[in-house]
Structure 1
Amino acid sequence: MAAKSAENGASEPTAAGARTPEAESLDAVTEPARLGPAERERSWDRLQNELFDVVVVGGGVVGVGAALDAATRGLSVALVEARDLAAGTSSRSSKLFHGGLRYLEQLDFGLVREALFERELNMTRLAPHLIKPVPFLYPLTHHVWERPYVTAGITLYDTMGGKSSLPKQKQLTRSGALRMAPALKRDALVGAVRYYDAQADDARHTMMVGRTAAQYGAVVRTSTQVVDFIHEVDRIAGVRVRDVETGRQTDVRAHVVVNCTGVWTDQMQHAAGTRGRFKVNASKGVHFLVARDKIPSDVGMILRTEKSVLFVIPWRNHWIVGTTDTTWRLDLAHPAATRHDIDYLLEHINAVLVTPLSHDDIEGVYAGLRPLLAGESEETSKLSREHAVSRVMPGMVSIAGGKYTTYRVMAKDALDLAVQDIPARVAPSITDRVPLIGADGYFALVNQAEHIGRQYDLHPHRVRHLLDRYGSLLHGLLAMTEDDPTLREPVPGSPDYLRVEIAYAVAYEGALHLDDVLTRRTRISIEYAHRGVDSAESVADQMAPLLGWSTETRDEEVRSYVERVEAERRSQTVESDEEADKLRLAAPDPRREQLEPLGTG
């Protein structure tokens, strides 16, 4: 990355290359919700010079949710993230925004009710452009007793969250179910129940929550690592942070620090000098993607396994199949999927498919870690999905556990506790009434898709796809193509995405590295069999002038990405976590080499 002057925030030409006039022109328009190179410099100045009410550590969905909650209460807030927004768990989920049907069977009614309420709130008010309904088939495998049992559970699921905009369940005979999902073996079911849930692109949703927090005044800064905590007498008074891209450091002072670091919670608490009130265990969940035509079905599926459930989730032109649930005690930043994990998923899905899937059918694989609250049992599937929040010491609050769907409630609970350390009256949370950026006007724009398509020479299907990623921010995106119509062309090797989305990711969405774009701003890394390799060169070429990369930096970004993909492919051929972890960590990481151990600041 180009080095920046710590004194005045100006860009300096270095070996990494000066930012070009093309890049500087992107800085001419300043918008609060914009996370671009110029905003990055201004945010560093704010970190150095302001006393914040709240500093949030961690850029996952709970962290950005906490920043949004604090900002909309009228508090001054800064969020710092060592890597990228949603770089960990929040980009590697099952992509479901759901109540968790299986938790009903565990009698966890409070969690399910809360999650279902949040599902409806997000689908209808907060993020209708990002949260979408999706139908699922629940195959029945036993006569007589199972249908009334499942029907009662899904009826409860349909109603316990309050009024729902989703269609109610539908009872199906075996023949009716097979017409809906001809991929299933006839002897795999005796009937079925169809019900609805919702899904979201988790990484995209997290980034949009972060940009909404910025819209309301929060500093949102990635590649900004906490290296130490500031202590005053017996309390935490802020954090010392290091710019991962340049190496510069500064102290960030705040009345309270909110630790939203997920599976890193214990390490962060230890660095602050406290054991905390709870421990977090990491559970690895692996998913793979196959092309949509590999599983002929109009609906997704939820299948019971001996340990949990298996989801087959429609995802654009693909199916997501997952997930596993195993303890992970190795590298937290890069959990690795093994052949054993993939074979487990293949075994269970193939048990019900007419035409079985093979390893050759798999286009993408990803592994994520769930931050589960430690319980009495070491079986991760039985650890709590409830969240816990604790004031671990004066000036520091930690929150962990929970589900992606309940991120807003988790953020609210964390701030409700954090206000004890803020020496002023603090307003209550209002995030249940704050739509994410892109939500306002979304439904009207969907109806105008054909008109917008004619205006920009795009197929209406392409416009609707963009609306489901950007919502009413679409006009700002497409305005970037007016001076350069080539930006409306597809990304080479990844035709579902347009070149303008790459430029927008850098200018507005905080992307700093090739991996940020291919893995999180888009999902090219899991949606194509080449896993982004065939697009890496062209995307890097487009990013280089916008970020001031030298030829050497551009080449290093491509090399690092390609080697990462190769390492992940190799890790997926071995049986043990230890072997997979070793292979995965052999790949370079543009940020990892610059990160420092906690407490070294």
Structure 2
Amino acid sequence: MPPSYTEQRQTLVNSLENEYFDLVIIGGGITGAGIALDAETRGLKVALIEQNDFASGTSSKSTKLIHGGLRYLKQFEFGLVREVGRERAILHDLATHLVRPEKMLLPLTKDGSYGKIIASVGLMVYDVLADVEKEDHRRMLSPQETMQLEPLLNVDKIEGGGLYSEYQTDDFRLVIELLKAAQNEGAKVMNYSACQDFIIKAGKIAGVKVHDDILDQEYTLYADYVINAAGPWSDLIRKNQEEVKGKKLHLTKGVHLVVPFQNLPIQQSVYFDVPDGRMMFAIPKKDVTYIGTTDTTFTGDLEDVRTTLEDVHYLLDAVNHYFPTVHLEPKDVISSWAGIRPLIEEEGKSASEISRKDEIFVSEHGLVTIAGGKLTGYRKMAKRAVETILEIRHEQTGKKIPKCKTKKYYLPGNSFKNQKAVKKYKKSLAEENPNTSIADIDYLVDLYGTQCEEILSHAKTSSIIMSEVRFCIEHEWVSHLTDFFIHRTGRLFFDIESVKSNLEVVAEEMSAMLCWSDEQKNAEIEGINREITKATVFE
């Protein structure tokens, strides 16, 4: 008989304890995943640990946009706009199926944040700074053209509009593909493995003590260097080896709501003003529209971040104010997510005013912490973090600093030159799989790219979702129902009914593949039901 899942994990833990690493990374979100790939491709021996599931924190709770940073122009952060804009173009090449073009409408209103001249100049500057391709350059619209594009807007307030280019993604998939790429290069990655403490030798960090949640055992990882990329948990990690003083994290909460598309049938994504002076997104995605986000200081339990009824009213009131015929109510919300942004504390600034720039701290014991930043800028963040380590190593040993190779490192599932190639691929798959719906083909290619062929192959003797389960367990470190339904497929966010209708059969399949006891299986079902409640019940 082949070894069980637990036996395989035990073998991996045993091998980790017997190896010595150049670098251990704490945190399996977008930043940690990016660092793992960057470091491995420069020749470092890397291990990455994550206390929960990969992408379970901030990196699955964003607005799902690889955006060029238009809103940062209001804060005069031109350098940030330039960097994230250029990174957006790079990411579109690296993960073409995952980073998809999206037209964004910026309506201009009499009492809005952007006047006609400021919007026109701002969008022109945005095109230049973000290296937007000519065919995607901004187009300024008359009031009539704006209303024609989006009839749900308040005709009495519209003075015009701007149509510009953005990109939509599935943030959690980007993390998983980065980790798979890093593993393909040789990195050892472990979810459900929490940093308990640091190993200190001669006053310097020499590794980490880890608790494996699945095996319920402790083990140690020895390394020359450790990077703390734990996002909102970064300061808690820092406290294990130093007093956190000077610059520290300012945590803010961002909430998104999902409603049926028919309840908010916008024709394209809209970036619009809300009454308190902030701005918000409304983004259609197949059968739903999602809206967000809030930006409020968070001081609660990081393991229990929730959407409150106050959050719901704030977002719905903003939508109803801007789209007066919609009349959304709390009962229209079918799902939601709430995430925490790890911003760098800046005295005297409100949550929405704090810069999204990343910063790196190096402790006296040698712990390198990177915090702040944005999803779009993850590759540059990773580059800066790895080069901080390599510069320290150069000073200590004289070793050269290898060049970054991730600018042209195509992620798993991507063999596409452009979106036309993606569409052509979808069409060919539909012809080869006549019993699979176009909607399922779209869904699979958008999430898995060319890897979906393995899923479709197994689906010929099973169902799409059962084949997905198998693929995610065998290739993507799925250990729990929540891993599959939330951080691999996003079904809890965008197709919550499919979670409810498939819960029992998926639990049965995972139970067989992972050798769960009946007690474990029941606990797993209770766990995903708690997440459903968390996403749909607001207090």
> TM-score, normalised on structure 1?
0.84
Pick the aligned partner of 1:363 from 331, 334, 351. Answer: 334
> C-alpha displacement at 1:461, in angstroms?
4.4
> C-alpha displacement at 1:315, in angstroms?
2.1
The 3 A distance-change label for structure 1 pair 51 and 367 is same
> C-alpha displacement at 1:41, in angstroms?
4.4
AA partner of residue 535 (structure 1): N
Q: Per-residue displacement from partner, 1:520-564 (whole Å, max 9, x unpaired)? A: 111221224558334322221121111111121111110222134
1:494 match: none
CA–CA separation in structure 2 for the residues paired with 1:197 and 1:110: 18
> C-alpha displacement at 1:46, in angstroms?
3.1
1:399 match: 370
> C-alpha displacement at 1:274, in angstroms?
4.4
| Aligned positions of 1:206-285 closer than 5 A | 206-275=175-244, 278-285=247-254
AA partner of residue 436 (structure 1): L
Contact 2:95 2:414 in 1 (8 A): yes
AA partner of residue 97 (structure 2): H
Contact 1:166 1:196 in 2 (8 A): no
1:437 match: 412
Pick the aligned partner of 2:454 from 476, 480, 490. Answer: 476
> What's the secondary structure of 1:229's corresponding residue?
strand
Pick the aligned partner of 1:519 from 483, 486, 490. Answer: 486
The answer for unaligned runs of 5 or more in structure 1 is: 1-20, 28-35, 489-497, 574-601
CA–CA separation in structure 1 for the residues paired with 2:58 and 2:257: 16
Pick the aligned partner of 1:462 from 425, 437, 440. Answer: 440
AA partner of residue 541 (structure 1): E
CA–CA separation in structure 2 for the residues paired with 1:447 and 1:569: 37
Question: Quick check: 1:447 aligned with 2:416?
Answer: no
2:463 match: 487
Question: Quick check: 1:132 aligned with 2:100?
Answer: yes
**What is the percent sequence identity of the aligned residues?**
31
AA partner of residue 106 (structure 1): Q
2:345 match: 374
Q: Per-residue displacement from partner, 1:211-236 (whole Å, max 9, x unpaired)? A: 11111110111011111100001100
Pick the aligned partner of 2:403 from 428, 434, 440. Answer: 428
> C-alpha displacement at 1:364, in angstroms?
0.8
User: Which deviates further from its counterpart, 293-302 or 439-448?
Assistant: 439-448
User: Which deviates further from its counterpart, 136-145 or 63-72?
Assistant: 136-145
1:596 match: none
Q: Per-residue displacement from partner, 1:115-162 (whole Å, max 9, x unpaired)? A: 000111111x21111001111111111399921210110111112122
> C-alpha displacement at 1:378, in angstroms?
4.9
Aligned-residue CA RMSD (Å)? 2.2
2:389 match: 418
Contact 2:288 2:494 in 1 (8 A): yes
Contact 2:281 2:293 in 1 (8 A): yes
CA–CA separation in structure 2 for the residues paired with 1:166 and 1:77: 41
Pick the aligned partner of 2:317 from 323, 339, 347. Answer: 347
The 3 A distance-change label for structure 1 pair 451 and 503 is same
1:182 match: 151
CA–CA separation in structure 1 for the residues paired with 2:422 and 2:279: 37
Pick the aligned partner of 1:508 from 475, 483, 498. Answer: 475
2:305 match: 335
Contact 1:83 1:223 in 2 (8 A): yes
| Aligned positions of 1:297-316 closer than 5 A | 297-305=266-274, 306-316=276-286
Q: Per-residue displacement from partner, 1:98-125 (whole Å, max 9, x unpaired)? A: 12211101100111110000111111x2
AA partner of residue 62 (structure 1): T
> TM-score, normalised on structure 2?
0.93
CA–CA separation in structure 1 for the residues paired with 2:305 and 2:387: 33
The answer for unaligned runs of 5 or more in structure 2 is: none
Q: Per-residue displacement from partner, 1:355-396 (whole Å, max 9, x unpaired)? A: 221112111111000000000125211222110012223432
The 3 A distance-change label for structure 1 pair 367 and 98 is same
Pick the aligned partner of 1:96 from 40, 65, 73. Answer: 65
Contact 1:372 1:384 in 2 (8 A): yes
> C-alpha displacement at 1:195, in angstroms?
1.1
1:18 match: none
Q: Per-residue displacement from partner, 1:84-106 (whole Å, max 9, x unpaired)? A: 11110000011111122111011
Contact 2:96 2:416 in 1 (8 A): no
Q: Per-residue displacement from partner, 1:312-367 (whole Å, max 9, x unpaired)? A: 11223211100111011011122111111110111111012122211121111110
| Aligned positions of 1:67-106 closer than 5 A | 67-106=36-75
User: Which deviates further from its counterpart, 415-424 or 186-195?
Assistant: 415-424
